[in-house]
Amino acid sequence: MVLFAALSVIAVVARPVVNLHAGPDPGRDVVSQAIYGANVHTLERQPGWLKIRTADDYQGWAPADSLLPVERPYGSSECLVQVESLFASLYREPDVRKQAPLLTVPYETRLEVIRQQDERWIQVRLPDDRPAWVQRGDVTFDPRPLGIEESIALAKRFLGLPYFWGGASSFGFDCSGFTQMLYRRRGTGIPRDTGPQAAWEGFAPVERTELRPGDLIFFGDEPPKISHTGMYIGEGRFVHASTHERPVVQIGEVSDPHWTVRFACARRLK
């Protein structure tokens, strides 16, 4: 295991998904997540733990053995692919039948390309310098920004995946982690949590009667406290990661009494 002799400026996530905790203790709340291959800044150290800051300026504590110190940011090579399937398995060799996968990584994981062997297989370099193989159908070389209709189609791909408090990956999302991902795929970085999302200066207020597909809707049990969000998809419906009735990514109805009484505000990109 590589040890941190001192705090590194940059480290890279070496597990498929790493939970970020409110403190250096696995019993503390999960506040967010970082996915495989993500570069993070290390800020503070406690025995077995590192406090890190992610690319969206979020801070939390991660197990030290889930991170690798690196001399250069991972993903800084000229040729990269990004996982477009909900999950992608990485293999020791270009064959799914000979061995179990080395690991399975979530949607949006970026990987450094070594070479493309044929139409099916791409060889990649992992953050720990191991080579691995990924199937071409699981990744894209060109993760372009999506339009509103494309982002709605993307959101529906996640229906039924589990809700996870603090979740920010296809292994499990919370409500704001889900909307942050959807807007990131539209080419816009928004804050991580619901309250800051609703207050973000890049959004303009929208009346409930003027909702359009792609708008974000915010809810709260006690206005002005905001505790939930989802993306409006038209015809009175919105897609969200929620624990209401069942803890999954699901489609809700704005007119549902459960949500009507909790409706707080709506926002649209300026």
Active-site residue identified among 21, 41, 79, 175: 175
Under 8 Å between Cβ of 125 and 54: no
**What are the b/e assignments for 40-49, b being 16+ CB within 10 Å?**
bbbeebeeeb
Burial class (CB in 10 A: 0-12, 13-18, 19+), 255: exposed
Peptide bond into 73 cis (omega under 30): no
Whether 228 is catalytic: yes
Distance CA 14, CA 68 (A): 6
Does the annotation count 41 as an active-site position? no
Query: Catalytic one among 228, 244, 258, 265?
Result: 228
Residue 83 · residue 107 · CB < 8 Å: yes
Known catalytic residue at 258: no
Give me the residue label for tokens 């409500």. 175
Distance CA 224, CA 218 (A): 10
| Set 41, 240, 258, 265: catalytic member | 240
The structure tokens listed for 57 are 């300026």
The alpha helices in 17-161, defined as continuous H runs, are: 148-157
β strands within 47-126, DSSP E: 49-53, 59-63, 67-69, 80-83, 87-90, 103-106, 110-116, 121-125
Catalytic residues: 175, 228, 240
